[in-house]
């Protein structure tokens, strides 16, 4: 979508989310800015959006849940991307709010889930415990001294 008008403006919050994802893939920053709700547009930094869009390889959008009302919608989704020059894939989760304004759908803002708790399965090695490599030394004097 290069230029949007009344005829090709997304007709639902889901369509808008999908179009905005495509705009991130295409680097169409004007579309992303224009489809941000006028009341919250100033809160979004165009340069940050542009940097994120252009420095990422966009790998997929998955919509998990939609909560639709007549004039607003919440959509939970996950976007997978990889920053250029990095190998690891990032799984970016959001709960986004979309609202209608003057008959058009706009992105308003997002909330992000709390970080997932990591539960260690193996017992933690203490500084004064015997080293796990079997050297007979204390962990802090052996392999533990290499982690600092």
Tokens of 10: 């997304």
Structure tokens at 140: 């802090």
The whole-angstrom separation of Cα 51 and Cα 106 is 22
pTM: 0.73
- Please write the tens of the pLDDT for every residue from 76-95: 999 999 999 899 999 999 99
Low-confidence ranges of the chain (pLDDT < 50): 1-2, 148
The beta strands (E) that lie in 3-145 are given as 56-68, 72-83, 90-101, 104-111
Report how far Cα 118 is from the mean position of its chain's Cα atoms.
Answer: 19
Q: Tell me the CATH number for domain 13-111.
A: 3.10.450.50
């Amino acid at each position: 979508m290069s230029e949007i008008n009344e005829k090709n403006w997304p007709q639902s919050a889901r369509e808008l989310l999908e179009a905005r994802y495509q705009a991130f893939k295409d680097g169409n920053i004007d579309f992303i800015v224009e489809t941000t709700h006028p009341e919250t547009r100033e809160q979004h930094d165009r340069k940050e959006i542009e940097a994120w869009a252009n420095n990422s390889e966009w790998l997929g959008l998955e919509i998990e849940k939609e909560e639709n009302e007549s004039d607003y919608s919440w959509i939970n989704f996950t976007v997978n991307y990889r920053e250029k020059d990095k190998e690891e894939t990032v799984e970016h989760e959001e709960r986004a709010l979309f609202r209608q304004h003057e008959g058009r759908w706009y992105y308003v803002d997002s909330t992000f889930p709390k970080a997932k708790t990591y539960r260690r399965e193996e017992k933690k090695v203490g500084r004064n415990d015997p080293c796990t490599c079997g050297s007979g030394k204390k962990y802090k004097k052996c392999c533990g001294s290499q982690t600092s």
